[in-house]
């Protein structure tokens, strides 16, 4: 089922997600709905907060983003990330590389807004999958950026928080409009 994507201005986007202690059918349905919602909106990632639920759950699929390559390593060995999509990450923990890259980001909760955002070039991820199994991988490229962006959502951090003050100032009018629209009845 496609769910409504929460737009900037809704307080749930600033909520830190609750850690999932058990993975039940309700969570599996939520994850499936999130994937369907993300695909419908042509996104590469979606956090539970973006569908109105503050949980440590995100879905990611970078397999259709050929213009922005991704790299992935499992157990130190490089693999084709597309063979591991979609990713459903529960209670993710990230270890960020010190090297940074600046890249363009958008967000389904910020329609038509993009900005150049600095992120770690590489990231190590530990999380659980829908079966409760521990998964670990390393990522670079768009996958690393998507994981960091979605993990920020799980902690109530938005990509506008990582923009330069000049970028934020230039978007102030659009952001104010979005926030006002999200509060409109």
Decide if domain 11-183 falls under CATH 3.20.20.30. Answer: no
Which residues, listed in sequence order, are joined to residue 60 by a DSSP beta bridge? 45, 87
From the list 142, 104, 106, 103, the residue with the least C-alpha distance to 123 is 142
Name the catalytic one among 105, 112, 150, 181: 150
What average pLDDT score do residues 96-114 get?
A: 95
Condensed to tens digits (0 to 9), the pLDDT of residues 39-89 reads 999 999 999 999 999 999 999 999 988 889 999 999 999 999 999 999 999
Please give the Cα distance from 121 to 119 (Å, whole number). 6
What average pLDDT score do residues 149-175 get?
A: 94
Is 78 annotated as catalytic?
no
What average pLDDT score do residues 147-173 get?
A: 95
Q: What are the boundaries of each domain within the chain? A: 11-183
Sign of CA pseudo-dihedral 113, 119, 83, 59: negative
pLDDT of residue 184: 66
pLDDT of residue 77: 96
Give pTM, 2 decimals: 0.96
Checking if the pLDDT of 157 tops 90, the result is: yes
């Amino acid at each position: 089922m496609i769910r409504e994507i929460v737009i900037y201005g809704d307080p749930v986007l600033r909520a830190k997600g609750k850690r999932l202690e058990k993975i039940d059918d309700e969570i599996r349905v939520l994850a499936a709905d999130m994937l369907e919602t993300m695909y419908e909106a042509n996104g590469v990632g979606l956090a539970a907060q973006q569908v109105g639920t503050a949980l440590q759950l995100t879905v990611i699929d970078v397999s259709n983003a050929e213009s922005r390559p991704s790299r992935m390593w499992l157990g130190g060995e490089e693999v084709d990330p597309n063979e591991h999509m979609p990713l459903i990450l529960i209670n993710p923990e990230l270890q960020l590389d010190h090297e940074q890259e600046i890249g363009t980001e958008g967000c389904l909760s910020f329609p038509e807004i993009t900005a150049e955002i600095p992120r770690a070039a590489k990231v190590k991820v530990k999380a659980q999958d829908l079966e409760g199994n521990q998964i670990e991988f390393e990522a670079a490229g768009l996958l690393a950026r998507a994981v960091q962006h979605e993990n920020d959502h799980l902690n109530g951090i938005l990509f506008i928080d990582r923009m330069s003050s000049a970028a934020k100032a230039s978007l102030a009018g659009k952001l104010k409009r979005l926030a006002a629209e999200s509060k409109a009845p």
